[in-house]
Copies of this chain bind each other. A is one copy, B any other.
Amino acid sequence: MTHRIPLGWSFNGVPCGIRGASLELGRLDVAVWLSDRPAVAAGVFTQNLVFAAPVALCRKRLPQGQGTPFRAVVASSGNANACTGERGFADALEMTHLVEKTLGLEPGSALVASTGVIGRFLPMEEVRSGIQKACTTLGQDSTHLDNASRAIMTTDTVPKVSSRTVRLADGATVVLLGMAKGAAMIAPDMATMLGFLFTDAPLSGTQAIEILSTNAKRTFNCLSIDGHTSTNDTVLLLANGAARPVQHLEGSDLEVFAQAVHDVSAELAGMIASDAEGATKLVYVEVFGTKTEGDARIIARAIANSTLVKTAIYGADPNWGRIVSAAGYAGVPFDASKLSLWMDGHLLYEESSPAPFDPVAMSDHMRTNKIIVFRLQLAEGDKGCRLATCDLTPEYVRLNSDYTT
């Protein structure tokens, strides 16, 4: 699939040997993205109190989405630069300085993200040479795009890229290009969901942060593989306005652009859930009838994070009691006597009593479908959410039981 590239953006991904092991030496592990003019930037980050050095640095440079003119993003994979104290922060800072210096940019105009194992210092000699190499080989074609999207992969089995061309009211078009990696902390400590959205649309700083945070909540944040919030989660949106000689989007133009951000984000989040480690099923947990969207997300997450729910799905066992009981301990008050549950349209539990169904036929249905949708209906309000997750398999345990040693 070919993607249109937003005007003014170039990029590349290169190998520098962050992972060290000889087998991994050729693996792409540093990516750089450059805008040929200043871009507005907005970011959303992990809510973990223990957050990585690159997250700390991005937060510092992106106070409340204020649009300091940004020019570049650098990302590395194989080492999260998390739990690395002051030395880790200095390393993240040096990564941005190297990019700024090599590309002749203003100090403070680069952002940084990392993903990989927690608690180890970055091999800075390798990282320096990688940044140098990436900065001097940037391009705008599909090969460079492929390199950049692969350089942020950890245990991902496929690169994740999505794009939209948005037609504005006056007939002009702007392009949105997104790429992402990972699946929460499903990977063997190779943690982290990273997402990058680049566009040539003109956005104000306020518009960028508003669009990003609203849509991240409904897409990237409606995704849970194992409930373990990473120290490094980062989604950045950068808009350089190269497509339009105006300062920002208005009215219906803003709406269609925001919709494109939602669609690209949802597509990338779906790709992450589908590629979740060891998983055999993509599972959507829909929770409706709550007072707020937030309540629905809390309940959906409790269900999605239950190992009993996830193992039952792996075993094609229509063991709905586990889903209903997980909702009950989520911490959101609701009238349990009004609770009902469907699986792919089949009623399993109706207002607190079991609905009759053929367990063998249901199990066959679960075994033969790669995508399963559970819908839990409450009677507290008219809000809801749809969360993407996966099953828990022996392969997940195997992959995650021996990583750092």
Contacts and interface: CB of A to CB of B under 8 A. Distances in A.
A180 B34 CA distance: 63
Contacts of A252: none
A29 interface: no
A342 interface: no
A168 interface: no
Interface in A298-348: 305-308, 311-312, 314-322, 324-329, 333-334, 336, 339
A326 B226 CA distance: 12
A231 B323 CA distance: 11
Contacts of A231: 321, 325, 328
Given A228-B322, A229-B329, A359-B405, A311 B400 contact: yes
Given A307-B307, A349-B119, A392-B397, A402 B325 contact: no
A50 B328 contact: yes
Contact of A316 (B326, B328, B396, B405): B405
B325 A229 contact: yes
Contacts of A401: 311-312, 314-315, 317
A118 interface: yes
Given A354-B84, A402-B317, A228 B49 contact: no
B325 A50 contact: yes
Interface residues of A, number: 72
Nearest to A363: B405
A403 B320 CA distance: 11
Given A185-B308, A307-B226, A352-B83, A405 B325 contact: no
A360 interface: yes
A369 interface: no
A200 to B, nearest CB: 36
Interface string A109-132: 000000001111100000000000
Contacts of A101: none
A307 B392 contact: yes
A84 B350 CA distance: 10
B405 A397 contact: no
A394 to B, nearest CB: 4
Contact of A333 (B49, B359, B363): B49
B227 A402 contact: no
Contact of A189 (B83, B305, B319): B319
A167 interface: no
Interface in A346-369: 349, 351-354, 359-360, 362-363
Given A49-B328, A121-B354, 19 more contacts: A48-B325, A50-B327, A83-B321, A83-B324, A83-B325, A85-B353, A85-B354, A117-B321, A118-B319, A119-B321, A119-B324, A185-B322, A228-B322, A228-B325, A228-B329, A230-B325, A308-B400, A311-B401, A394-B394
25 contacts: A47-B329, A49-B327, A49-B334, A82-B325, A83-B321, A84-B353, A85-B354, A87-B353, A118-B324, A119-B349, A119-B354, A185-B308, A189-B319, A189-B321, A227-B305, A227-B307, A229-B325, A307-B307, A315-B403, A318-B405, A359-B405, A360-B405, A392-B397, A394-B394, A397-B397
